[in-house]
Every structure is written in C-alpha cells, then in structure tokens.
Chain A
C-alpha cells in the first residue's frame, strides 16, 4: 500500500519539471489537427433558448426593414398603393438633383455639429461641476439628468410655450432687459437655433451622466502626483483627466452622433420642419416624404442614404478616432 509520500512522489513525477532529456526530444509532428469535439446538443439548445429570441427580433425588426427599405428605394411607390413601378436608382438621382437637398443637408449638418459638439462640451462642464463637493450636488444632478428621461414630444410641447414670442418666458426675460424676442417660429434660422437649444437641454444630462461616471473612475493618485509635481488644476485636467476620458469621449461621440442624426420628436412637436423647411433634417425629410407626401420609394432612398452616412461616419470614427483613444 503506497504511503502518502509515495503518492506525492508519483504525482510530482507525472508533472516532472523539464529535464535536459525531455527538453531535447522534439515533439512528433502532428499529422492532422484533431477536430474539435462537437458541442453537445444541450449547448445548442441553451444557445437557441437565450440568443434565439433576440436574433429573431433583430431579423424581424431591424435587418428585414433595413433590406426592405433598400428594396423600396428602387421603386416609385405611393404609400398605400398595392402596386409600384421599378425605377432603379431613379429616387437617388432625384434626391441628389433636387434643389432642396442642399438645404436639407446643410440643416442636418448644422443641427448635428451643434448638438453633438455642444452637448459634449456642455455635458463635460456639467460633469466636472457635479464631480465637485458642492452643496445641493445631488439635487443638481437630478435636475440636469431628468430631462433626458422625459418624452421628446412632451419636452417639445413645453418649450413651444417657453419660446412663444408673445406669451413665453423667453420673451418676458428678454423684454425685462429691453430686448425684443427673436422670431423663433417665423425665421428659419432662429427656428433652427431654437430646436438645437431644446435638444441640448433634453440630452445634455445623458452626456453629463456618462462623463461623471468616467470622472469618478479617474485614479486620484495620478492627480495627487501631478499636484505634488506642481501641475496646476487646468494642466492636470488637460494632460491627465482628458486623455483618461478618451474612451468615454469616443463612446459618447458615436452614441450622440447617431442619436442626433435620428432626431425627430422635438422637431415634430415644435416646428414640423418649418418655417420654410428651416428645421427639416434628413430624418424629418424621410418622414415628410414617406408619410405626408406618400412617396414611399423616395423616402426609402433618403433613409438608405442616411443609413450609409451613419455607417460611414461610425466606421471612420472606429478606424481613426479610436486610435487616438488611450484605454
């Protein structure tokens, strides 16, 4: 009967440390790679059980409409009609040749740059402020983040009254300092400014919240070390905090860009794309052409173009911007 010592010895011999002998012996060449052992059917069943519903939902509600839209974009089709006429790339050609396209693209660009850029800057400022030990910090955080969870239509309707040049709060405040209210609703440029302000008010809380979480994970010892080395707060922020916020900024740049380009509710509630189509973005144009004008094919073409733009911009961000991010 082996003793405990014997067993121990046997075990150690089984996993013996390499000796000059066994190291020198070359491993026999593998004639073939053995096939992986097939997963038991239970694993597949489990996979289907958990992933199946999500995959099915994705196919039915995301990929199928996407491909359908691509197909419809090649048709001249009145929404509601049982038949359509194939026109190939005619809808795309029509969109690029439409004199109104330049205006729609310009409005989309201004709206996107202002809401994404403005949202990131203001959101970061709020996050930095909320990260400090201030009185009423909890209440301030709630106030800043709360609009984000509100319905866009409700926010739009609320601000509709705020900006009313006759009865609104902005008119009263401006009047108090002797300034007339801008024609928010009758001038296309002011109308665009107005919807940008409202969009920022609603969504800046989201950016602030994400930045705040990121700020709280910045290692304190780095900041303390910088302080000991004589770095002023601004320099420490620029050279330490901002680079460490890189992944968060990258994440936010993608999510806010996608959200901004797909913005619809506030514009619908406040201006309906007007006046003079001054707040008609590509997203709003898709709705107008598809559901108001009934040009389902043309609308699908604009949707496909917008999808392509989103895809390209996101890929560019992933390829070039991500390289500058330090994880």
Chain B
C-alpha cells in the first residue's frame, strides 16, 4: 500500500498565498527606517527649558551594576521623598551593558523608549550617532548640575563635537589585585609591582615559592581589549589615533609581543578558561588585572588577604583606561519627560548619592566632593584597597576611538588578542585582520552618520 501524500498546489491556493504575502508586504513596508543619508546625532540647538513642567512619571533602564538594585531603589525612594510629584520606574533592562544597549537600540522609534538609560563606554557613542540621546550640557546648565565637580576624565569621556552626551555613574578602571599570602611565601614586598619589568623579575619566585601561576589573564569581549590598553599604552602604542587605526606601529606590535611572551616564553601567565576573577579567588593564580567594580566581590569571595595596586607601568610610563557606564537621557522623549529625567539625574549623581552608591558597590566616586567626603573617607579606612583604586583614577585616560566608538571594534580586537594569547598567532598578522575589519566598520557604520 502506498499512501504517500503528494504535494500539489492549485491556482486558487497560489492566489490565496499571493494575497497573504501581498498583505504582509504592505504591512512590512509600513515600518522601518527612512531612506537617505545617516541621521546623525540629535539636534544640539539651544532649548529653552524655562516654562516646561516636568513629567509626572519617568522610566530608567538599568542593569544594576555591582548588584546595586537595592541601592538604586533607595536613591529613587529618597528622590520621591523630595519630589513626590515625579514617579521613577526602575526597569531591569538586561544583565549587562550590552543587553541594555541591544534593547535600547531595538526600541528606537517606538513608545517603549526609556527616559534614562545606562550608556557604557562602548555604547554611548553609538547611541549618539544614531540620534538616540540628548546632549546634556544645556539641560545641566538649566538644572544647575555642578559638572565641574565631576572627575574631569570621567566626565569628558562623553564628549564629542563639543557636547557631553552622558553623565558618569558606575565608572571603573582596571586594578592590580594580588594574593598577599602568595606574595609573602615568595618573599616579595607587600605591594604591586611598579613596572612590568619588575613583575618579570618577581614572577619566577611567585611560581616557585608561591606554587601558583603568577598572572591570570582574562579573555572575551568587553574585557581583553580593555585591560590590554595598559600594556599597549605603557609601551607607547595605541589602538588608534582618532579614526586611524595604529595597530601596525612598532609600539603596538611590541606590546602584543610582550603579552605573548608572558604566556609562551616566560610561562608566567595563563589565560583563564571561564573567569579570571574566580580563578584568582580560588588561589589558582597569584595576581590579576580586574575591574575596580569587582573589588567588593573579590574581597568577599577570597579566602586570603587581597592586596591592590596601580597597574604596572610600561617603558613609557603609567597607563590605565577608564571604563564602566554613564547615564544618558533619551532624545525621543517629550521635553517634559527629559526635564524630569534631568532632575532625577541631578539627584542620582549628587555628591551624597555618589558616595552612597560608590561605598556600596566599589565603583569609583565620580565626583571630587564625594571622593573626599566623609562617607568615602570611612570606606578608605575600612578597606584601604579602595583608596588605591581611587588614587589610580588620577592617572587614567580616555580610551582610543578605534576601540570604543566603532561598532564591533571591541569584538575584532578581542579576536586578535585571543589569537595572540591562545593560538600564538603572529601579532602583526592578527592586528592586520582586526585593522581591516574595523576600518570597514568605520566606513559603513560611523562615517555616514558623523
């Protein structure tokens, strides 16, 4: 018996199918971007904020950096006690900055756009060129936000074409963490190595006497290319000079050669399989470069005493990038909503709340007054490691455009660094591939929008 069904279609069915596709095509054409040249950043024309009444309800998208949900809720509670006429809805919009950014971009042009959104170091620029966020300066002036009190490097991170596009919030830098017990066993002074050359001298002792791999390195996107800034800048190199990639310079190649030598020649560093912070906490490695945002977690998790220090200097001196996230106001909202969002932003980042947030999370106090205030002074007394992170802030510099402003650049640089670290690929070859990809991305995704 053969009852194999046959696949046939008659004229009537074809017509029905065509009608269905026609209807959906019409629907499809009703949405999407307009055609033409890139829209570019939001209008920076001076806005007259006087006479505008703040909205009664605003929404803030956060991923609660440093497990700060309760802290953020408390600050909102305080705000509403002072401003009962404005309700702030805190929305968990993702597990990390990337997830928030993906949602924020996807909601563009819809009614679901939040009033306030976290804007991390690798995302705010993209929001800006897409016209999704508002320049802050004008509104900050109207609301009398004391922007001069912000750490200059951290505030100026969000500058482009003479405007600031976000306000610093949960900001961090890489920090050198070391296992004091291992250091003691190796007979080393209780401090971080001042230079990489000094670390090279110490490493054999750490391996022999401490019984651990001296240095743990992290891989993965949004991470490897961040801490590598230290080695790259410390040797006089850079990812880019504004929009021109400079990974083919002798300094950049020398930095990558040094990194590769740590793993394959000197055998004093290892690349963590999953999480270099967990490996360090478990005592598998003697030291790591971790985020200051991980400080509280590392101190809690480690079963040994943890020391902190500045990132080691290279031949060209100290080099430490800034990182973390700021907060931006959405451009596609009414002036009333933007005004209310600005009022909350002013409150959230005032000196008292900055200190409250920093002391509970480990992120940098972004205001000078908060850094030197009573709350943080108490924290420094209890956790001297925190003081190191704050002091290092003075040595930081903003990141290269070639990493943070070009879509996918961080991924391309991460892939190049992973090739160098995991497959012993020639740095010049790995960097050449990344350079080509980033240049293409700039031409396609940045240049038309500037």
Contact = CB atoms under 8 A, between A and B. Distances in A.
Interface of A: 55, 59-60, 63-68, 71-72, 75-86, 99, 160, 164-167, 183-187, 272, 274-277, 288-289, 291-295, 318, 322-323, 325-327
B422 A295 contact: no
B274 interface: yes
Given A67-B25, A166-B273, A185-B274, A83 B126 contact: no
A71 B32 CA distance: 9
A327 B3 CA distance: 6
Given A80-B108, A82-B109, 13 more contacts: A59-B20, A80-B105, A82-B108, A82-B131, A83-B38, A84-B33, A99-B433, A183-B273, A292-B102, A293-B408, A294-B407, A294-B408, A327-B3
A64 B24 contact: yes
A164 B274 contact: yes
B149 interface: no
A66 B20 CA distance: 13
B4 A327 contact: yes
What are the 4 A-B residue pairs with the smallest beta carbon separation, nearest first?
A80-B105, A293-B408, A63-B24, A67-B28
A318 B5 CA distance: 11
B62 to A, nearest CB: 18
Contacts of A167: 282
Contacts of A288: 411
Contacts of A160: 274
Contact of B408 (A292, A325, A326): A292
A308 to B, nearest CB: 16
Contact of A85 (B21, B27, B448): B448
A268 to B, nearest CB: 11
B126 A294 contact: yes
A64 B411 CA distance: 31
Contacts, number: 150
A164 B24 CA distance: 47
Contacts of B445: 78, 293-295
Contact of B35 (A86, A293, A326): A86
Contacts of A99: 433
A78 B282 contact: no
Contacts of B441: 293, 295
Contacts of A67: 21, 24-25, 27-28
Contact of B28 (A71, A164, A187, A292): A71
Interface in B256-296: 271, 273-274, 279, 282, 284
B367 interface: no
A164 B105 contact: no
B435 interface: no
B83 to A, nearest CB: 30
22 contacts: A64-B27, A66-B24, A79-B108, A81-B39, A82-B39, A83-B35, A84-B32, A99-B433, A165-B273, A166-B273, A167-B282, A183-B273, A184-B273, A186-B271, A186-B273, A187-B422, A272-B220, A274-B220, A275-B418, A276-B415, A291-B105, A295-B445
B57 interface: no
A111 to B, nearest CB: 19
B110 to A, nearest CB: 11
A63 B18 CA distance: 12
A294 B105 contact: yes
Interface in B15-51: 20-21, 23-25, 27-29, 31-39
B415 A277 contact: yes
Query: Among A63, A65, A76, A83, which residue has the most Cβ atoms of chain B within 10 A?
Result: A83
A238 B29 CA distance: 53
Interface in B68-93: none
B108 A63 contact: no
A235 B282 CA distance: 56
A327 B5 CA distance: 9
Given A79-B105, A80-B108, A294-B105, A322 B282 contact: no
A81 B273 contact: no
A295 B21 contact: no
Query: Among A79, A81, A322, which residue has the most Cβ atoms of chain B within 10 A?
Result: A81
B98 interface: yes
Contacts of B131: 81-82
A298 to B, nearest CB: 8
A60 B27 contact: yes
A80 to B, nearest CB: 3
A67 B26 CA distance: 9
A254 to B, nearest CB: 13
B32 A292 contact: no
B29 A71 contact: yes
B35 A84 contact: yes
Contact of A82 (B33, B219, B273, B411): B33
A325 B38 CA distance: 54
A274 B35 contact: no
A59 B20 CA distance: 8
Given A59-B20, A79-B106, A164 B273 contact: yes
A160 B273 CA distance: 10
Contacts of A327: 1-4
Contacts of A323: 4
A219 B90 CA distance: 61
B419 A81 contact: no
A77 B445 CA distance: 8
A56 to B, nearest CB: 10
A196 to B, nearest CB: 18
A53 B129 CA distance: 40
Contacts of A81: 33, 38-39, 108, 129-131, 449
Contacts of B104: 80
B127 A80 contact: yes
B221 interface: yes
B444 interface: yes
Query: Among A66, A165, A166, which residue has the most Cβ atoms of chain B within 10 A?
Result: A166
A325 to B, nearest CB: 7
Contact of A272 (B29, B221, B419): B221
A249 to B, nearest CB: 15
Nearest to B284: A166
A144 B402 CA distance: 49
B111 interface: no
